[in-house]
Amino acid sequence: MNNPLLELSDLPRFSAIRPEHVEPAVDQVLAENRAALQSLLHGSEASWASVVEPLERMGHRLGRVWAPVGHMNAVVNSEPLREAYNRCLPKLSDYSTELGQNEDLFQAYRSVSDVDTRLDPAQRKVIEHRLRDFRLSGVALAGPEKERFRSLMQELSTLQAKFEENLLDATNAWSRQITDGDELDGLPSDVKERARSAAEAKDLKGWLLELDFPTYHAVLSHARSDGLRRDFYEAWTTRASGIGPHAGRWDNTQIMEQILAARHEAASLLGYASFAEYSLATKMAEETGEVLGFLEDLAARSRLAAERDFAEIETFAGRTLQAWDVAYYAERLRQERYTISDDALRPYFPVDRVMQGMFALVETLFGIRIASVSGREIWHEDVSYYEVSDAEGPRGGFYVDLYARQRKRGGAWMDDCVGRAQLGDRLDRPVAFLVCNFMPATGDRPPLLTHDEVVTLFHEFGHTLHHLLTRVDYPSVSGINGVAWDAVELPSQFMENFAWQADVLPTISGHYQSGEPLPADLLERLLASRNFQSGMQMVRQLEFALFDFRIHAADHALSTAEIKQTLDQVRDQVAVVPYPEINRFANGFSHIFAGGYAAGYYSYKWAELLSADAFAAFEESGVLNPETGRRFLQSVLEVGGSVDAMDTFVAFRGRRPQPDALLRHSGIAVESPGNH
């Protein structure tokens, strides 16, 4: 059987990939890698060429084989594909731990580090990271402990995948049929049109509202019906839990406890007091107290502003608000204060115009060109492909998959399809997946974005640029690879700032029918609204970050009751919105229980501080200044993980980061812990 996953001369052949290809391809590459490893360990004296480069090549090949599998499991999920994906997770985990615990390989890397004097800085960083990862993988553990660590890694791989599956299934399972049009009052027309189409597709009368995030957000922000808002709130916040519309069917409660137990035990085996302490070995922050101090200081500075924000909404509403009321009345207040609404803005942000303007921006700043390319294999008709080049030639490419649909994971993300690699004579240029979950076209209207969605697109495009514009040739430190986790959001959050600039907004907007630019008064009101409710937004993110860090910084594995207790304590400290008893937020917190943000959610705020300070350089020199853009390109984007994150920042800014710009951008610079 010709296996398309093993054909690596070009981009993945998505239409040819079947679930039955997955396990054989992974088995073959793992077997070949193991055989190659044995051969090189019994070869000549260890050197970069005899040990490190072959390992980089092996990891790169495995990554290329697995990337389309993980991606398709997220965007065109099916039961057979999910089963094949899940069968491979323990194998991949076992292989990774096996490499990390290989004492002969560890000694070989140490030998190269000690003896080979010809290594360039990027090569030294590759070895430095690998030696660190050996220690974090338990290379120094004794036999039984080493085997237990491996078992825990396998268990975590399976548990985290199950958490994500439960959340996806619970989200897809819920919908609300509406037969009385009055119940839809207030909803944007494109949401109603999409709901009408969804009902027709299932031979149902009226409208069918599904639980994807764009619909949930629209209902909570715009639906006049208290009952509809409450139903959506309950369905969303009880997903994958023991209560709510599908109580217990896809319950993540015990899985969370098991994940925390496995993480804590693994960290303990390596001599760490907590999983949070273990996780900081790969981050900019040096110890747990530094992270907690950072978060709690921001919370203290922001709490008073958040309380004012919430009191303002309640005063406007004229009554005590429930959690499902807050977004609705906040949106009404925003409309009254700034005479602005998502409905008013959306026609001016058609996806094509936003994309063209965003591309033009980075072409100006970074001296690159972006062109659409047809004829590439794709996994869905909505997907498009672009190539990036500069004066010297091609730099890489990226797929774009922007719209919500069934069997597609919620949220927005960038992922690695192909990492940059120059190993020997062959150059593999980087390729990325850029994925969002926006509202698709409805009726005769093209896909239109809210401004919040424009900001999300800019965020994910920042990650994409970080991956694509690297100049580093070694896969483990090229692009986003090897970058400290709490700095990896720097380019993405940096790019968000441009979506709020008066010099940029006219280039990314234009009415979808007439092409007319965003009216000057609407532009002014949008810019004035930037810090609307910024205190509440700040403490919401701090709530997530503190909860994540505290459950992972505990000196023991928390029980289900302790997980809830920790969340309650964090909310008492920072939250201003009243949470009902039904809220089971943690059961759907996939960033930390299924994604890579365990004990790392704080990195959004940490990197936001870096990005705000970095963007201040553009504010000082001119937002569209190509010279400043080139410096950011060369100091941050091109070096990937080959330079320490703090050093990349200092290389660009000329000093260490300062919090002033973050507080100023958030509109809460006047607040300080001493004020309250």
Return d(Cα 292, Cα 552) in angstroms, integer: 12
Residue 424 has pLDDT above 90, yes or no: no
Q: pLDDT tens for residues 553-586?
A: 999 999 999 999 999 999 999 999 999 999 999 9
Q: pLDDT tens for residues 57-105?
A: 999 999 999 999 999 999 999 999 999 999 999 999 999 999 999 999 9
Q: pLDDT tens for residues 156-185?
A: 999 999 999 999 999 999 999 999 999 999
Confidence of residue 671 (pLDDT cuts 50, 70, 90): very low
Helix (H, G, I), strand (E, B) or coil at 511: coil
CATH of domain 346-512+602-676: 1.10.1370.40
Residue 674 has pLDDT above 60, yes or no: no
Helix (H, G, I), strand (E, B) or coil at 645: helix
Q: pLDDT tens for residues 226-276?
A: 999 999 999 999 999 999 999 999 999 999 999 999 999 999 999 999 999
Residue 190 has pLDDT above 90, yes or no: no
Return d(Cα 448, Cα 512) in angstroms, integer: 8
The strand pair at 431-438 and 413-418 is best described as antiparallel
Q: pLDDT tens for residues 95-121?
A: 999 999 999 999 999 999 998 889 999
Return d(Cα 84, Cα 62) in angstroms, integer: 16
Confidence of residue 669 (pLDDT cuts 50, 70, 90): low
Backbone angles phi, psi at 435, to 5 degrees: -125, 135
Span 4-168 CATH architecture? Orthogonal Bundle (1.10)
Return d(Cα 23, Cα 91) in angstroms, integer: 10
What pLDDT score does 672 carry? 45
Residue 312 has pLDDT above 60, yes or no: yes
The answer regarding whether domain 253-339+533-593 maps to CATH 3.40.50.2300 reads no
Confidence of residue 324 (pLDDT cuts 50, 70, 90): very high
Note the pTM of the prediction, 2 decimals.
Answer: 0.86
Q: CA 669 → CA 201, 438, 525, 664, 672, distances in Å?
A: 51, 33, 21, 5, 8
Q: pLDDT tens for residues 362-405?
A: 999 999 999 999 999 999 999 999 999 999 999 999 999 999 99
The two tokens of residue 491 are 């380019």
Mean pLDDT on 578-602: 95
Query: What amino acid positions are annotated as catalytic residues?
Result: 460
**Helix 520-528 crosses helix 323-338 at what angle (to 10 degrees)?**
140
Instruction: Let me know: does 631 contact 324? Beta carbons within 8 Å.
Output: no
CATH 1.10.1370.40 domain extents, the chain: 4-168, 346-512+602-676
**Helix 79-100 crosses helix 19-41 at what angle (to 10 degrees)?**
10
Please provide the DSSP assignment of 139-172 as one string.
TTS-HHHHHHHHHHHHHHHHHHHHHHHHHHHHHH
CATH 1.10.1370.10 domain extents, the chain: 253-339+533-593
Return d(Cα 54, Cα 51) in angstroms, integer: 6
Return d(Cα 242, Cα 268) in angstroms, integer: 30
Q: Give 371's contacts (C-beta < 8 A, 6+ positions apart).
A: 386, 387, 389
Helix (H, G, I), strand (E, B) or coil at 352: helix
Confidence of residue 675 (pLDDT cuts 50, 70, 90): very low
Alpha helices in 347-450 (DSSP H): 351-366
Confidence of residue 506 (pLDDT cuts 50, 70, 90): very high
Confidence of residue 4 (pLDDT cuts 50, 70, 90): very high
